[in-house]
Structure formats: structure tokens, C-alpha cells
Amino acid sequence: MPEYRAPLDDMRFVLNELAGLPALAATIPDFENATSDVVDAVLAEAGRFAGEVLSPLNRSGDREGVRVVGDDVKVAAHFPEAYRAFAAAGWVSLSGNPEYGGQGLPRVVAVPAGEMWAAANSAFANCPELAGGAILALAAHATPELRARYLPRLLSGEWAATMCLTEPQAGTDLAAVQTRAEAHGDRYRLFGRKIFITWGDHDMTDNIVHLVLARGPDAPPGLKGVSLFLVPKYKLKPDGSLGERNDILPVSVEHKLGLHASPTCVMALGDHGGAEGFLIGRLHDGIACMFTMMNHMRLGVGVQGVGLADRAYQQAVAYARERKQGRSRDGKERVPIIRHADVRRMLLTMRALSEASRAIAYVAGGHLDLADHASEEADRRRHQARADLLTPIVKGWSTEIAQEVAALGVQVHGGMGFIEETGAAQFLRDARITTIYEGTNGIQAMDLVGRKLLRDGGRALDDMLGEMQALDAQLAEGGAQLKAIREALAAGVRAVRESSRFILEGSAKDENLAGAAAFNYLMLLGVVCGGWQMARAAVVAAKGSSPAASAHFLRTKLATARFYADQIMPRAHAHALAISAGSSSIMGFDEEDF
């Protein structure tokens, strides 16, 4: 199968024309070095690393998997060297704070890099993604001493990180966490069992920084009794060098459908006297601290969906160009299957969904940068609200479309798609977890409806819909060329408005409506936000010139946007109709009758 090739042209176009990179570099002093030229060079180098180092280990890692040897997890061959090269090249610290050795590039640049790692090798990519989340959580909530001791080594990639949340009885429901932490002087001793710990142990780095949710002393029941602790794999000596092994050990690794090269561990804390840990943030305030990491991971998982979708698309196109079945209409020659209408439908669906989900994710990244760095408080709040609104859409919709795209990738391969050696099936297997981890998409949907729509009465949404509608005038200027795209977007915006009003008004009377409608609402917003970004791209493309793209690229983008309007936007109506049916047929069904 072909190795991964980073879609640098589309990445550059989206960053510059849709996600606001030039404005970031021009207006935010911290980002004055993040010019398009610099970012181009960084991403080209990331693409090279992804294609030449990570991609070739994707199939071998899947075949080899990981294993527990004594108290250690051994990963697949060449993964440790690859990680050291990754760290040495500075990829962990791309958007990290320069105070601790980070390179200080915008998040919006780290997002396409993250897409590349996930596309090339999703199992590998989870390891630096976790480090990135831990860095943010420690920077925001840890004491200066902990920051000084841990952040530089995390940013350099010398050490890795995990998030230890789940326990057998506590998955989505973190209020049920039972792991406990006893105070001992300035530190704690932790006791408990954590499951589903991604990259919970491995031999890629010298140390691992576990962020662990546990109940501290005198913890009240429920979510408000959960605290966050830093538990290192190896304790640090006073001079910061590695000391003895801490009492947090991998007990086993799971046999999973996909991501075979990424160890998913059961971790035992305190079987030998207690795992030494340090409080992060305030006692009993662990969920808020964890959410700093969780929001990063949610965006990251959405981007993983984008990467897997694009990778599946690339491989399917390569196969469809090469595989010959059937004949031309004149019967004279056998033709590659890429000429058959239904194969084109599948490939264009894969392409359009990948590009649309990419655009939403990068746009969300741009808002995060402005939420952190805009000079005016009001701007920061506004961009934070938009990023908050987009995060569940990026996580939820990008991962749903990753399933669909990866499944289409298998389908394009026909019988060969079912054969593991082909590689198409791995993308489907790997993608399957993305709708589940870091909060299932059902949870994302409830977050979207409950926290992002209902809580502010639809203001953040109205703000976004206003921007969508403002695009209409520009689409109108495009005339016949943009007519179908304009109409599809207008219909999509209407569907979102009506569905939102239905939920906002109905929830007052029906306490089940939000939950019953949530998933369709998430999918509706995903489809329409994707159509919005494709329409924005089409407006640029219709003008025929962009400093960020060739004329040929723009023609192709316009054709993809048109396909999206024709073939993807219709889904908005199915979701809106399902929402309008309300909750009765979902909640009225007797529990015993399932």
C-alpha cells in the first residue's frame, strides 16, 4: 500500500483562507514568527516525518502489537527509535510555551501536524497527543515547582504522559471514581485500579507522567470529591533525575479491535504501599483541571478522525486508479474503476467529508489561539465561546465521518478490502474507537445541546449562524457557479435554526427532548458547519486566485464543494426531520420490551 502523503496544499489553503493564520501572525505579537512561509516549512517537514518515519511503522505496529514483560510494556519494533526522533525534531513542543522550552507556534499549526501523525500512524500519534494535553493541564493548574520539574521534560519529549480516569465502574460517569489518595506531608499516596489507560506504560520514554483522578482526604461523594494528581512512573530525586520506580504498574494490556500498537493498560496503583502523587490544582477540583486536558484531547481525537479519513481516501484513490474492472463504453479497453460512477461517488464522499472535517477542525484551532491571545477580553471570550461550540462538533462529527470514510475505503477495494494485508481494514479498525474515547459521541452531543446550546439560550450558535448567513451575499456574487452551493447552505442554515428553536422551546416542556435529539443535532451541525466551510472555500475558489493556492487547486476545491452541496448537505434534512419528531418514540418504549 502507498505510504501517507500529507495533503499540504489543502492544509495550507485551509490555514490561510479559512482558519485565519495570516491574521494571527499579523495581529498577535506572540505569533509574529508564524508567517505563512515559516508554517509551510514546518508542515512540509512534518509531512516528511509522517510519511517517511511513522507511516512505514503503521502496518508492522498493527501486526506486532504490544506485550507486558514483568512490570513493563514493550511496544512494537522501531517505535521507540521513532519516538526519540520525533522528540528530537521538536514535534512535541510545537505549540508549547517557550518559557518551558516550547516553540510557541499557534495551536492552529499544531492541529495539521497532529492530523499528519494520526494519518500516518494513529496508534503512535496518541502518545504525543497525551503529552500535549498533560502539558496544558500542568501549565494551567500545577504549582510552579511541579511545572518546573515536569514541563521541560514533557515538552522535550523525553517523558510521556497519560490520563488515568476510567475505572471499571466509572467510565462516562466519573462521579463513580473510587481510587483514593491519602495525604502524606506535601504529597499523597494513591490506591486503586485504572482501566483503558492509553499508552499507560511503554518503553518509548524514560519516564511517564500519569495524571490521575482520585478521591482525596474527606472527599464528598460524586464529581465534587474528585481531585487530580500527578503520579510519575519513576519518582524524581531532588535534583530532578530519575529515582526509584513508583507504585503504579501496568497489570495487563487489552486485546483490541484496532490501535494494536498503542498499549491500553490496566494500571494498579498502591499494591505496594501507595503510589506517590502530587496534587494538581485544588483539592476536590480535579474534574475542572482534567477538562483542560480533556478539551485538548477531544479536539485531538476529532483531528485523528480527519487524519484517518484522509489516509483511507488516499489509499482508496490509489487502488481505484490501478484496479481495472469493466470496459469503456465503446468496449475497447478495460478501465480503472475510478471511472465508474459509483466508485467516484464513494471517493468523492470520502474526499468531501475529509476536507470539510479538516476545515472545521483547523477553524476551531484558530479560535483557540485567539481565545488565549487576542488583546481584548471581549474577543477572547467570543473566540472561546466559538471554540467551545465547535469542540464537540469536531470530536463528534469528524469521528463519525471517519467511520464512514474508512468503511467506504474498504468498499472501494472490494474483496481486497477485507484482506488485512491490504491495509484498508486497519483504518476502519483504528477509527472505530474515535467515536468512543475522550467522551463518547453521545456525550459530545449532550455537551453540545446542554452546555453549548441550552445554557446560553443559543447565543453562541446565533453568532455562528449569523456568519453563515453573511456568507450568502458573497455566494450570490458567484452567480451560477455557486448557485447550488448557496442554496444548499441556505437550506442547511434554516434546518439548524428550526431544529435549535425546536430544542430550545421544547426542552422547557419535555425534559427528555435534549437527550433524544442530541445526536441528530450534533450530526446536523457537523454537516452544516462542513458545508459552511466548503462554501467559504468555494467563494475563494470562485474568484480564481489565492496567495495560498494554485488555480488548479482552486478549481478542484470548487468541484469538491459542489459535490458536498449536492450529495452531503441533503443529510441535514434527515437529521432535522428526526429531531422534529421529538422524544416520545424514544422514551416511550418500555424498558422491558427491548
Active site residues: 438
- Which single residue is written with the C-alpha cell 508492522? 60
Q: Which of residues 402-421 bind a second copy (CB under 8 A)?
A: 403, 407, 410-411, 414-415, 417-421
Is 278 or 437 the residue whose CB approaches a second copy more closely? 437
Q: Which of residues 188-247 bind a second copy (CB under 8 A)?
A: 195-196
Q: Contact with a second copy (CB under 8 A): which of 169, 178, 328, 550?
A: 169
Q: Contact with a second copy (CB under 8 A): which of 33, 325, 545, 550?
A: 325
Residues in the chain: 594
Residue 582, burial from CB neighbour count under 10 angstroms (0-12, 13-18, 19+)? middle
Q: Which of 352, 363, 360, 362 is nearest to 309 (CA)?
A: 352
**Between β-strands 67-69 and 180-184, what pairing exists: parallel, antiparallel or unpaired?**
unpaired
Is 103 or 357 the residue whose CB approaches a second copy more closely? 357
Q: Contact with a second copy (CB under 8 A): which of 171, 243, 450, 458?
A: 171
Is 236 or 416 the residue whose CB approaches a second copy more closely? 416
Q: Which of residues 509-568 bind a second copy (CB under 8 A)?
A: 511-512, 514-516, 518-519, 552, 555-556, 559-560, 562-563, 565-567
Total residues interacting with a second copy, rule: CB under 8 A:
97
Q: Which of residues 51-80 bind a second copy (CB under 8 A)?
A: none
**Between β-strands 207-215 and 159-164, what pairing exists: parallel, antiparallel or unpaired?**
parallel
Residue partners of 227: CB distance under 8 A and separation at least 6: 181, 213, 214, 215, 216, 219, 279, 280, 281, 282, 283, 284, 285, 286
Torsion sign over Cα 99, 213, 400, 261: positive
Name the maximum alpha-carbon separation found in the chain. 84
Q: Contact with a second copy (CB under 8 A): which of 193, 256, 382, 494?
A: 256
Is 391 or 403 the residue whose CB approaches a second copy more closely? 403
Q: Contact with a second copy (CB under 8 A): which of 272, 321, 455, 501?
A: 321
Q: How far apart are CA 135 and CA 157, in angstroms?
A: 11
Q: Which helix (H) or strand (E) holds 281?
A: none
Residue partners of 490: CB distance under 8 A and separation at least 6: 472
Q: Which of residues 260-279 bind a second copy (CB under 8 A)?
A: none
Q: Contact with a second copy (CB under 8 A): which of 308, 348, 360, 525?
A: 348
Q: Which of residues 426-465 bind a second copy (CB under 8 A)?
A: 428-429, 432-433, 435-437, 440-442, 445-446
Q: How far apart are CA 580 and CA 84, in angstroms?
A: 53
**From the CB of 412, what's the least distance to a second copy, in Å?**
9
**From the CB of 445, what's the least distance to a second copy, in Å?**
7
Q: What is the CA angle 226-232-237, rounded to 5?
A: 130
Q: Contact with a second copy (CB under 8 A): which of 82, 135, 338, 368?
A: 338
Q: Which helix (H) or strand (E) holds 473?
A: helix 459-477
**From the CB of 121, what's the least distance to a second copy, in Å?**
18
Q: Contact with a second copy (CB under 8 A): which of 186, 333, 341, 480?
A: 341
Q: Kindly state whether residue 122 participates in binding a second copy, applying the rule CB under 8 A.
A: no
**From the CB of 485, what's the least distance to a second copy, in Å?**
10
Residue 407: CA count within 13 A, CB half-sphere: 7
Q: Kindly state whether residue 12 participates in binding a second copy, applying the rule CB under 8 A.
A: no
What backbone phi and psi angles, to 5 degrees, belong to 95?
-105, 20
Q: Contact with a second copy (CB under 8 A): which of 190, 265, 312, 317?
A: 317
x-or-dash pattern for a second copy, window 128-157, by CB under 8 A?
------------------------------
In the three-class reduction of DSSP (H, G, I as helix; E, B as strand; rest coil), residue 192 is classed as strand
**From the CB of 122, what's the least distance to a second copy, in Å?**
13
Is 33 or 169 the residue whose CB approaches a second copy more closely? 169
Is 211 or 446 the residue whose CB approaches a second copy more closely? 446
461 touches 528 (CB < 8 A):
no
x-or-dash pattern for a second copy, window 571-590, by CB under 8 A?
x-xxxxxx--xxx-xxxxxx
Q: How far apart are CA 585 and CA 594, in angstroms?
A: 13
Q: Which of residues 77-116 bind a second copy (CB under 8 A)?
A: none
Q: How far apart are CA 248 and CA 200, in angstroms?
A: 10
In the three-class reduction of DSSP (H, G, I as helix; E, B as strand; rest coil), residue 251 is classed as strand
